[in-house]
Amino acid sequence: MTRRTQNFIKRFINRRFPFAPMSTDWHHQRVNTPYADGPDRSDFEVHAALDSADVDRIEEAFDQAWYDLPVRFAPDVVAAVRRADHGALDRRPRLFHLSALAHHFARHGGDDPQPRRLLQLYARQGRRYAARLTSFSDPRDLVAAGTLALVSARLQGRYDEAERIGAWTDKHLALHVGRAQPPWTSTDPAARPGWLSAQRGLTAMLAGATDRAVQLYTRARAEAGGPPHGHYAGANALANLALLSAYRGHLGLARRRLTELEELGDLPAVLARLTASGATLARALVAIEELDERGAARHLREAGPAAHDLELWPFVAYAQALYDTVWGDPYAGLVRLDEARFAHGAQAAAPGTMTSTLLVQAEAALLVRTRAAGRVLGLSREHPAVGSLVVDVAWTQLRSGHHHQAIRTCAEALHRRPESVSDRIGLDLVLALAHLRLGNEDRAAAAFESALRGRSGPAHLRPFLGADGDDLRRLSDLAGVDADLPVPDLPGVRGPAPLVRLTPRELAVLQQLSVGKTAEGAAAALGVAPTTVRSQIRSLYRKLGASRRSEALASAHELGLLPVGRGPGR
């Protein structure tokens, strides 16, 4: 940014935002704000408001400067709030929000990767505000109290309740405000433009409602103003839109969102982790999909371990697992994944949530790399709603020599239109390889051409990792295309995977045996003749290579043919 542009922005701020923070107290962070080139009149006005301990003036400064105030003046804010009366934080949600942020920044600056205390404060105080939202008549208090109540419910995993609070707050804000105003003006009575919509977007995303999340994030981006103060919610929305785009395999769209985010300017370092961590994860996922090992490793280091207390930790766990399937140790990856689950108490995440979906996807990807075919199929049976597992199932069937079953699995999944671009590519590729194994060259060529055309760009290579280089060259020749697919040869991915396929009736009998039923008891439970069950048992023993019940059950558990029991705390 040129000096002329900086001076223009500074003059604009001085006119629009009389409390624009220019403090020298946090000089080491002013490099992140291009317009902060020294103290001026507004600097002294902010100090005057804080020194006065007049909570009305302090809240007004927070309305106008938003996050910049607790970032720039954290020690002064903490000292000023301490002088307020004891019950002020309960009555004044804006003051609470300001003091919580200022305390966090004063204590940790930008070096706290686990804002556990800040999140606990939000959760506790947000519950108190949720109980009396109707008591807040000032729109500025209502948006603060309502959004903090929403965040509190979300932090406790109560996504439906969080969205109800958000929708109610949104509706009543519209009734209070009554007329439209440009969101970038300092006179906007609701203040914090886009904040509520962005938090509702994160709630929808973590609940697994990704389409709704995209709508809310897009709205937040439109509501938010530009720099210096009105853009934080917009930056957060763009970062998470980029993350969702990369997760769905729309790599070009993810890049465009990231470019929009960069055009907003740098965020203060102390805010980047809280506001734009989604952008870091989006860059990591794009790098993984394009097999850029150095870039992926760099962005994952920046994101930090999945055990950290950021709400996007399931995406961190998922991205780390994908990295381990390509360049790392999948067995160590499974250990890291379980560590993240344990650290967040998510051993049995609620089905349908993004946490559950991402963790199951991550586990399946790692298991495919270890050739644990039965466990992959077991996961798909245990989590039928996670549609992307069908790709792992198809690869497992292909590598186990069940080519016709792989074709059927891919065809059915493609008819249902997979959500992820990478999933569609993977299904087309498995379809092509299965037809190639069966000698159906025309069908193989057509499916391979579809896989190539489905990429987000020439560098979109990860979905092709499971194929042998010779097979890819043969498919390219059959399709009459010059497909340059420089994918690495990953040990453990190719080669046969042990897989035993049981009929639905055999599975039913096996489950009855696993709970201690005799042949007669199983027959009574299933409503069939004992002779039918005995025939199924003989077939089970033959397929499992067993001669007695205990041996058959041991093999079935090892191959993932029986549902996994959940112990206490899981």
99 shares its domain with 148: yes
pLDDT on residue 31: 30
For the chain, how big is the Rg over CA atoms in Å?
Answer: 28
* DSSP letter (8 states) at residue 359: H
**What single-letter amino acid sits at 371?**
R
Domain boundary among 207, 227, 262: 207
Number of CB atoms found within 10 A of residue 272's CB: 18
391 shares its domain with 528: no
pLDDT on residue 113: 61
Residues 447/449/452/453 CA torsion (nearest 10 deg): -110
472 shares its domain with 511: no
The answer for 291, left when phi > 0, alpha when psi is -120 to 50, beta otherwise, is left
b/e 200-235 (16+ beta carbons within 10 angstroms → b)? bbbbbbbbbbbebbbebbebbbebbbebbbbbbbbb
- Cα distance between residue 161 and residue 165, in whole Å: 6
**What single-letter amino acid sits at 138?**
D
Binning pLDDT at 50, 70 and 90, where does residue 235 land?
Answer: very high
158-165 average pLDDT score: 96
Tokens of 127: 């519950």
Give the residue with greater pLDDT, 23 vs 423: 423
Q: How far apart are the first and last CA of the chain?
A: 52
CATH of the domain at 531: 1.10.10.10
29-55 average pLDDT score: 59
- Which of the residue ranges 205-214, 390-399, 431-440 would you say has the lowest mean pLDDT? 390-399
CA 523-529-534 angle, 5° bins: 70
Q: Is residue 318, in this structure, part of any structural domain at all?
A: no
Percentage of residues of the chain with pLDDT beyond 70: 83
Tokens of 450: 């579809």
Which three-class secondary structure state does DSSP give residue 416? coil
Yes or no: say if 434 and 396 are a contact pair by the CB < 8 Å rule: no
Nearest residue to 48 (alpha-carbon basis) of 60, 34, 30, 36? 60
pLDDT on residue 498: 59
Q: Which of 212-216, 390-394, 517-521 tops mean pLDDT?
A: 212-216
pLDDT on residue 228: 64
- Structural domain of 410: 371-498
550 shares its domain with 412: no
pLDDT on residue 48: 82
421 shares its domain with 477: yes
Q: What is the 3-state secondary structure (H, E, C) of 154-206?
A: HHCCCHHHHHHHHHHHHHHHHHHHCCCCCCCCCCCCCCCCCHHHHHHHHHHHH
Q: Is residue 151, in this structure, part of any structural domain at all?
A: yes
Q: Is residue 278, in this structure, part of any structural domain at all?
A: no
pTM of the entire predicted model: 0.82
What interhelical angle do 232-247 and 251-263 show, nearest 10?
A: 160
- Per the structure, the count of domains in the chain is 3
151-165 average pLDDT score: 95
**Max CA distance (Å), the chain:** 93
Yes or no: say if 268 and 27 are a contact pair by the CB < 8 Å rule: no
Binning pLDDT at 50, 70 and 90, where does residue 569 land?
Answer: very low
Domain boundary among 498, 515, 531: 498
Q: Is residue 21, in this structure, part of any structural domain at all?
A: yes
pLDDT tens-digit series, residues 471-497: 999 999 999 988 778 877 665 444 445
Residue carrying the six token digits 């930790």: 313
Tokens of 54: 């007049």
CA 40-41-44 angle, 5° bins: 95
Number of CB atoms found within 10 A of residue 134's CB: 9
82 shares its domain with 175: yes
Yes or no: say if 232 and 258 are a contact pair by the CB < 8 Å rule: no
Number of CB atoms found within 10 A of residue 500's CB: 18
pLDDT on residue 51: 82
439 shares its domain with 480: yes
Residue carrying the six token digits 């590598």: 399
Q: Is residue 234, in this structure, part of any structural domain at all?
A: no
Yes or no: say if 267 and 276 are a contact pair by the CB < 8 Å rule: yes
508-526 average pLDDT score: 87
Yes or no: say if 461 and 487 are a contact pair by the CB < 8 Å rule: yes
Binning pLDDT at 50, 70 and 90, where does residue 377 land?
Answer: confident
494 shares its domain with 512: no
CATH of the domain at 424: 1.25.40.10
pLDDT tens-digit series, residues 309-355: 789 999 999 999 999 999 999 999 999 999 999 999 887 778 889 99
Domain boundary among 474, 498, 522: 498
Give the DSSP H or E segment for 43.
helix 41-52
- Which of the residue ranges 88-92, 250-254, 257-261, 434-438 would you say has the lowest mean pLDDT? 88-92
- Cα distance between residue 39 and residue 15, in whole Å: 15
Tokens of 544: 């499992």
413-435 average pLDDT score: 94
Binning pLDDT at 50, 70 and 90, where does residue 112 land?
Answer: low
274-293 average pLDDT score: 94
**What single-letter amino acid sits at 353?**
T
pLDDT on residue 230: 65
Which three-class secondary structure state does DSSP give residue 108? helix
Q: Is residue 226, in this structure, part of any structural domain at all?
A: no
Q: Is residue 144, in this structure, part of any structural domain at all?
A: yes
Give the residue with greater pLDDT, 128 vs 369: 128
407 shares its domain with 473: yes
pLDDT on residue 37: 38
- Which of the residue ranges 134-143, 184-193, 245-254, 434-443 would you say has the lowest mean pLDDT? 184-193
137 shares its domain with 190: yes
User: Does pLDDT of 562 surpass 50?
Assistant: yes
> What is the sign, positive or negative, of the torsion defined by CA atoms of 538, 541, 545, 546?
negative
